[in-house]
Amino acid sequence: MHLSDEDIAHLGKLSRLSLTPDQRHTFAEQLSAVLDYLDQINQGDAEHVAAHIPRRALAPYDLREDIAKASSSQDLTSQAPHREGRLVVSPPTI
Amino acid sequence: MDVKQLSIAELHDAYAKRELSVEAVTSAYLDNITKRDSSLHAYLTVLGEAAMAQADVLDKRLLGGEKPTGLFGVPLAIKDNMCLAGTRTTAASKILDPYIAPYTSTAVQKVSDSGAVILGKTNLDEFAMGSSTENSAYQKTANPWDPKRVPGGSSGGSAVAVASQQALVSLGSDTGGSIRQPASLCGVVGLKPTYGRVSRHGLIALSSSLDQIGPFARNVTDAFNVYQAIVGKDENDATTTEEITVDRDVLTRGLAGLRIGFLEEAMLEGMDEEVTARVKEALTLMEKAGAKIIPLKIPTARLSLALYYVIVTSEVSSNLARYDGIRYGVAQSPFGPSFENFTTVNRSHGLGAEAQRRSILGTYTLSKGYADRYYNRAHELMDVVAHDFMAAFREVDVIFGPTSPTVAFPLGEKFNDPLTMYLSDIFTVPANIANLPAISIPIGFAHKLPVGGQFIGPRFGEGQVFRAAAAYEAESGFANLSATPQI
């Protein structure tokens, strides 16, 4: 699987990352090589064995009931870089 | 007497007899940090004052007649991806540079409740992404056996702290080998428990399907003591299970009658011949001590590394999406023209190259049209690998093999070649993919550097893993190694 510099630019935008042309090129080369390696999961006997095992048979987890607990807005917002009083401030979103 | 040579049991004995105070032991470790860490760079934050205050409290408890148990008075380091309330917690990322944890992670709370003295927070690859600790945004940690070489990763700081006696024991996290591979490269013991054994509440998430916290120590018994302190169900982590007690007797049961599987896939072409030789010697030693060595084949295990990188990169792209500079972390000021611009600038400045690389790849493997081919497919095959390991454990009690295909490699050697770096984890990732407990212990030296061997057990079979590791350690004498530069 070959990723072009343009593919990387698009994926960067989706990932909220701004990449220089050099970074785009380096990532395109590195990630194309990694993807070639990862594609073995879609080849050969991987296909064969997957058909024989029931999915999600091994790891169900019990979820507890959701119970509301008191928490402090001071704790929740203490690490926000921009805040006013007990509110978090962000740039305009619309 | 050098108090840093003492095991947990020996420390407790000395505390009980009033031969040592917790303050004296804590001071000895803090002094050693001052002496050695300017060249090794294991710690990101040293909590000297808090450690001495904690030591004082514990000494008063001793004077009040308390008998030391658990981790009482044990100097311990924690990887800096675990929250400790009121302390800087960076995950070795610039994006969390100003972050002060408002709460304490469950595992850290448990060691603290057990009486440990927390010395500080250790270096790691940024967000635990890496196999050499070179991806830290703050510093590169050196291997105490040869400072020109890497300590392994991502828990390199925690491994080095223990190997260089800057902590008696430490906590790391293991997503694909991040405890066992640095343990192997630094000549110490490192355990990844079964997924579900230890709560990840308060652990900064890398890959939620795989992350697990575990101990580093200089011998198997000390690792066991830390393990006992951190396990258990936690309502804040739905993957944790009811505690299953592991009997301490496993540490003295020996090798007689133990069925040890040896994976034929574990002997790779091009692997370091001396590492291969040490693994074969270990097998011979265990056979002579009464173990039965059984050749095994698990062909699907070889898919583990590819599955691992699909799952990790996908989950990284999701888990790291929260670092936007709104709720925490570094942020530009003033805001700039838009929300999108604001978060993009914050992330581009705050996240390092590997974090960016994995976020981008994970965005691809989760995107419309590709999620079935990669992420969903990987989860299906993860079950297949787990199933095949479970079948193997009907024939054997544990599986033994190398932890890493090589000894510690020179700093910078693999830094710009991600795929080669990823291959460092080829022997450790199957235990994460199949959700199995696994331990790395020293089995000798190659090129004057430590070599680690790995025992993998069945799911929740930590007892078997500890039995095999403790018995091998007793037979071989490879414990409490003193990491001094050999070259």
The reported pLDDT for the residue numbered A61 is 60
Q: Which of B7, B21, B79, B440 is catalytic?
A: B79
Residue B411: CATH number of its domain: 3.90.1300.10
Residue written as tokens 């004052």? B49
- Pairwise CB contact (< 8 Å): A17 & B356: yes
**What is the tally of structural domains in chain B?**
1
The reported pLDDT for the residue numbered B282 is 97
Instruction: Kindly list the residues from chain B whose CB atom is less than 8 angstroms away from the CB atom of residue A56.
Output: 383
How far is the C-alpha of B26 from the C-alpha of B235, rounded, in Å? 33
Structure confidence by residue, pLDDT tens digits, B168-225: 999 999 999 999 999 999 999 999 999 999 999 999 999 999 999 999 999 999 999 9
The reported pLDDT for the residue numbered B299 is 87
Candidate from A60-69, B140-149, B163-172 with smallest mean pLDDT: A60-69
The reported pLDDT for the residue numbered B482 is 82
Domain coordinates of chain A in residue numbers? 5-50
Structure confidence by residue, pLDDT tens digits, B313-356: 999 999 999 999 999 999 988 888 899 999 999 999 999 999 99
Contacts of B144 (CB under 8 A, 6+ apart): B36, B40, B151, B160, B163, B164, B186, B483, B484, B485
Q: For residue A38, what pLDDT band results from cuts at 50, 70 and 90?
A: very high
The CATH number, out of the four listed (2.40.50, 1.25.40, 1.10.260, 1.10.20), of the domain defined by the range A5-50: 1.10.20
CB contacts under 8 A, A 17-36 vs B, are: 17-19, 23, 27, 30-31, 33-35
The reported pLDDT for the residue numbered A62 is 66
Torsion of CA B384, B386, B388, B393, to 10 degrees: -170
Nearest by CB to residue B306, choosing from A40, A81, A82, is A40
Q: Which of B164, B178, B199, B404 is catalytic?
A: B178
Q: For residue A53, what pLDDT band results from cuts at 50, 70 and 90?
A: low
For residue A21, the distance in angstroms to the closest alpha carbon of chain B comes to: 14
Cβ pairs A/B, distance under 8 A: 156
What average pLDDT score do residues B158-176 get?
98
Nearest by CB to residue A30, choosing from B103, B377, B418, is B418
Contact B418, B279 (CB under 8 A): no
Catalytic status, residue B79: yes
For chain B, the average pLDDT equals: 95
- Pairwise CB contact (< 8 Å): B327 & A88: yes
Measured N-to-C along each axis, helices A21-38 and B304-319 cross at an angle, to the nearest 10 degrees, of: 140
Structure confidence by residue, pLDDT tens digits, A3-15: 999 999 999 999 9
Structure confidence by residue, pLDDT tens digits, B240-293: 988 778 999 999 999 999 999 998 877 777 788 999 999 999 999 999 999 999
The reported pLDDT for the residue numbered B194 is 96
- Pairwise CB contact (< 8 Å): B343 & A57: no
Structure confidence by residue, pLDDT tens digits, B417-456: 887 788 888 999 999 999 999 999 999 999 999 999 999 9
A15 touches chain B (CB under 8 A): yes
The reported pLDDT for the residue numbered A44 is 63
How far is the C-alpha of B261 from the C-alpha of B240, rounded, in Å? 28
CB atoms within 10 A of CB B338: 12
The reported pLDDT for the residue numbered A60 is 53
Indicate if the pLDDT at residue B485 is higher than 70: no
A61 touches chain B (CB under 8 A): yes
Cα–Cα nearest to B399, from B315, B251, B482, B297:
B297
Structure confidence by residue, pLDDT tens digits, B49-95: 999 999 999 999 999 999 999 999 999 999 999 999 999 999 999 99
Catalytic status, residue B154: yes
How far is the C-alpha of B264 from the C-alpha of B478, rounded, in Å? 25
Indicate if the pLDDT at residue A57 is higher than 50: no
Candidate from B41-50, B152-161, B291-300 with smallest mean pLDDT: B291-300
The reported pLDDT for the residue numbered A58 is 43
Could you say which DSSP state residue B479 is in? -
B137: left (phi over 0), alpha (psi -120 to 50) or beta: alpha
